Chain A
Amino acid sequence: MPDGDGQSGNEIEIEAVGKVFGQGDTAFHALSGIDLTIRTGEFFTLLGPSGCGKTTLLRVIAGFEHPTSGRLRIKGQDVVGQAPNQRLVNTVFQNYALFPHMTVAQNIGFGLKMLGRPRAEIAATTDEMMHLVKMEAMAARKPSELSGGQQQRVALARALAPRPRVLLLDEPLSALDLKLRKEMQTELKRLQVETGITFVFVTHDQEEALTMSDRLAVMNQGRILQLGSPHEIYHAPTERFVADFIGETNFLTLNVIAVQGRGADLALPGGRTIAARVAEGLTPAVGTTVSAVIRPEQARIVPQGTGELSATVEGAVFFGTDTHIHLRLSDGQPFTVRRQNNDDLADPAKGETVGLSLTPGALQVLRG
């Protein structure tokens, strides 16, 4: 770990947490063997497809669900068995859950009121929060009189007002249209930096996860598959699911020729050899077939005969900023190259044979 200052830098420590719903035949493992450390002040994201257990994990942290097994510490203190109202953790719910019978100001002040803070302090903090989320003009409205984006901001202000140590955000932006969503992403990030509160953010939007997080965990079927910085997750996925879920990618099935330390030499179709990185914890055996990935933007089309690979053009799709060129390698595997449209390069003609040059060190061998 880069900051390595141990206990004091860790906000939430989750050890071997499991959650089973139901019993016997109907038992469902919503979470299995979750190990996770969230550092103080970081923007941490849980990313995964629908139903993978993101909300369940968030609810375990908030205290709404009790883990079936494992340990959970907040700021070094064991909180299993502690009620939600005892934890200095607040939640922005997936559907906002604003109190419909209270005004915007009353909603925002609710947490402080329950904490028994003096009236003057509640009023001052409420004003400050409304200013922070730019909702001053709507203090006296009821939630039903607000737009989705406004409700979202109120939910955020309500959760921030008691100054929690940790803010849990369950897909807070999923109900918003694209433009508002982008705006709110920037705003959330700004709020997180300004307040210094640890954010645990849930999303199933990979782009959102990559742009906002300091670190993220990719989940599937109740497990954490990979944990790391957006850069690590994008460029060095360890599992097929992660590589596939985040961005577009090329999967290649290749033979291992040699293994040295954290790398391996693989045989490419056409006879050349390439050095590849190997996912942590994996030691491929020489002579076996492995699965490797490379992102479409990490390959370039070069004149026939040069580059590591040779491929036939199958078609090109224009995306505005870039073009996706679909190819087929000499052994029949599909391959896509993404080329930025910054100069007037003509698209290669269908059926043309071209060479492919791969960015050195970009190929990554996957687990499984």
Chain B
Amino acid sequence: MKRDSHRWKWILVSPALLVLILAASGPLLIVAVYSFLSPGNMGGVAWDFSTDAWFRVFFKRDIFEPENVTLNADHLAVFQRTIWLSLQTTVICAALGFPTAWFIATRPANRRMIWLFLITVPFWTNLLIRTFAIQEMIRNTGTLNTALLWLGVIGEPIEMMYTDFAVLLGMSYVFLPLMVLPLYAAMDKLDFRLVEAGYDLYASRFQVLRHVILPLVKPGFIAGSILVFIPSIGAYVTPRVLGGGRSMMMGNLIGLQFGQGRNWPLGSALAMVLLVIVVVALVFYLRITTRETGGRDGQS
């Protein structure tokens, strides 16, 4: 099939993907193989070669007129939402993480450890519990709506559960420390005398931020973005609890195939798609962010 060969080409030209496959070869190989088999009756797989799962990732066949093939809009919508929510989460984490990391990095040295320690506190509690806590906050009869109603700010509860907003809120909260920590590490290495040099040379606060600080903490942003984006793409618990069936992400779609859907090959094919999205995004991201530093020795 045309699409398959295209995909394989991609794998061949992508050494990063090769490394990934070798490193996680076992489970990955199984998933890859499963995606080319047929679904078993009670879940599992039947050992018959089939590209049907791959076909169904992207296309739908009309039940009554099998030759009437259309794009699988449901799946594509989930892919699109997954990528879009993950990008938004990364941007939100960067926007919130930067001032947080800056705050910590500018504390006296003996206080910084305390703040870093506090940043990691949420990790002590199970993710599921924290996600349910957010649900408790934002559901129609939850803390936030009750308070706003009581204050008379709103007349009716705001519907927040099972929306993209809820998923975004949950993921930003969960992944924020993964942005703060590498950003802090980059800022810790920042020579604050360079900031002073910027001010000395007539830069405004904003110009110092844009021309001195941001370029110098860029490695922290790159690391942080990768650390947030990858788990966001594969998020399962947060969209499951806060997004429900209405705001489903790829993780949930895959989970569904292995559970109720009883279509392991389709789940496997979807998992492979997820992997490809991550790798493509990574390669693309690293290309654009390291472009100028890549050519640094070009001149003399």
**A→B interface (CB under 8 Å):** 62-64, 83-85, 89-91, 93, 95, 97-101, 103, 110-111, 114-115, 140-142, 145, 158-159, 162
Chain B residue contacts of A103, Cβ below 8 A:
299
Contact of A91 among B194, B200, B204, B216 (CB under 8 A): B200
Give the chain A neighbours of B193 by CB distance below 8 A. Answer: 93, 95, 97
- Complex contact B196–A84 (CB within 8 A): yes
Q: In the bound complex, do residue B201 and residue A111 qualify as a contact, i.e. CB atoms below 8 Å apart? A: yes
Is B300 in the interface zone, CB < 8 Å from A?
yes
Which residues on the B side are within 8 Å of A159 (C-beta)? 200-201
* Residue of A whose beta carbon sits closest to that of B197: A97
- B284 contacts the other chain (CB 8 A): no
**With A140-B299, A141-B300, A142-B296 as given contacts, are A101 and B215 in contact (CB-CB < 8 Å)?**
yes
Please give, as numbers and ranges, the residues of chain B lying within 8 Å of A98 by CB-CB distance.
197
Q: How far is the CB of B202 from chain A (nearest CB, A)?
A: 4
Contact among A114, A141, A162 with B299 in the assembled complex (CB-CB below 8 Å): A141
B203 on interface, CB distance cutoff 8 Å? yes
Mark B50-63 against chain A: 1 for CB-CB distance below 8 A, else 0: 00000000000000
Q: Once bound together, how far apart are the Cα atoms of A103 and B297, in whole Å?
A: 11
Residues of A within 8 A of B194 (CB): 97, 99-100
Interface Cβ pair total, 8 Å cutoff? 65
Q: A99-B212, A141-B300 are in contact. Are A115 and B202 (CB under 8 A)?
A: yes
B199 within 8 A of A: yes
**CB-CB nearest in chain B for A161:** B201
Nearest 5 pairs between A and B by C-beta? A111-B201, A140-B299, A97-B197, A114-B203, A114-B202
**In whole Å, how far is A39's beta carbon from the nearest beta carbon of chain B?**
22
Q: Does B107 contact A (CB under 8 A)?
A: no
Residues of B within 8 A of A62 (CB): 200
A85 pairs with B204, CB closer than 8 A: yes
Task: Specify which of B204, B207, B216, B299 is in contact with A101 (CB 8 Å cutoff).
Answer: B216
Docked pose: A97 CA to B199 CA in angstroms: 12
A90 vs B194: C-alpha distance when bound (angstroms): 13
Looking across the interface, which residue of chain A has its beta carbon closest to that of B300?
Answer: A141
A-binding residues in B (CB < 8 A) = 191, 193-194, 196-204, 207, 211-212, 215-216, 293, 296, 299-300
State how many angstroms separate the Cβ of A118 from the closest Cβ of chain B: 15
Q: In the complex, what distance in Å separates the CA atom of A101 from the CA atom of B186?
A: 14
Q: Is the CB of B203 within 8 A of A64?
A: no
The interface residues of chain A, by DSSP majority, are classed as loop
Q: Assuming A85-B201, A95-B193, A98-B197, what are 17 further A-B pairs, CB within 8 angstroms?
A: A63-B199, A64-B200, A85-B199, A85-B203, A89-B200, A93-B193, A93-B196, A97-B194, A99-B194, A100-B194, A114-B198, A114-B204, A140-B299, A142-B296, A158-B201, A159-B200, A162-B202
In the assembled complex, the CB of B192 is this many whole angstroms from the nearest CB of chain A, namely 10
Nearest CB in chain A to that of B191: its residue: A97
Q: How far is the CB of A191 from chain B (nearest CB, A)?
A: 18
Q: Using A99-B194, A141-B300, A142-B296 as known contacts, say yes or no to A84 and B199 having CB atoms under 8 A apart.
A: yes
A110 & B199 in contact (Cβ 8 Å cutoff): no
Q: Return chain A residues, CB-CB under 8 Å to B191.
A: 97
Q: Is the CB of B197 within 8 A of A162?
A: no
Chain A min CB distance to B196 (Å): 6
Residues of A within 8 A of B199 (CB): 63-64, 83-85
Determine how close the nearest CB of chain A comes to the CB of B199; give it in whole angstroms. 4
A-B contact pairs, 25 of them (CB 8 A): A64-B196, A83-B199, A84-B199, A85-B200, A85-B201, A85-B203, A90-B200, A91-B197, A93-B193, A97-B191, A97-B193, A97-B197, A99-B197, A99-B212, A101-B216, A110-B201, A111-B202, A114-B198, A114-B202, A115-B202, A141-B299, A145-B300, A159-B201, A162-B201, A162-B202
Using CB atoms, name the residue of chain A closest to B204. Answer: A85
- Per the bound structure, the CA–CA distance linking A100 and B199 in Å amounts to 16
Q: Is the CB of B201 within 8 A of A114?
A: yes
A115 to B299, CA, bound (A): 28
The answer to whether A97 and B299 have CB atoms under 8 Å apart is no
Q: In the complex, how many angstroms separate the beta carbon of B298 from the nearest chain A beta carbon? A: 8
Give chain A residues whose Cβ lies under 8 Å from the Cβ of B211: 110, 114
Closest partner residue, chain A, to B194 (CB atom): A97
Across the two chains, which residue of chain A brings its CB closest to B296?
A: A142
| Complex-state Cα separation, A93 to B212, whole angstroms | 16
**Considering the chains assembled together, what is the distance between the CA atoms of A110 and B200 in angstroms?**
11
Residue of B whose beta carbon sits closest to that of A86: B202
The residues of B that contact A110 with a CB separation of less than 8 Å are 198, 201, 203, 211
Minimum distance in angstroms from B3 CB to a CB of chain A: 42
CA distance A91 to B194 in the complex (A): 12
What's the Cα separation between A84 and B208 when bound, in Å? 12
| Distance in angstroms between the alpha carbons of A158 and B215 in the assembled complex | 19
- Is the beta-carbon distance between B196 and A114 smaller than 8 angstroms? no
Docked complex Cα distance between A64 and B212 (Å): 17
Q: Which residue of chain B lies nearest to A158 when distances are taken between CB atoms in the complex? A: B201
B125 to chain A, nearest CB (A): 40
On chain A, the residues within 8 Å of B215 by CB distance are 101
Q: Shortest CB–CB separation between residue B207 and chain A, in angstroms?
A: 6
CA distance A75 to B108 in the complex (A): 36
In the bound complex, CA of A63 to CA of B199 (Å): 10
Identify the closest chain B residue to A113 (Cβ).
B211
Closest residue on chain A to residue B297 by CB atoms: A145
Q: Which residues of A contact B198 (CB under 8 A)?
A: 99, 110, 114
Cβ of A64: which chain B residues have Cβ within 8 Å of it? 196, 199-200
How far, in whole Å, are A186 and B194 apart by their CA atoms in the complex?
28
Q: How far is the CB of A155 from chain B (nearest CB, A)?
A: 9
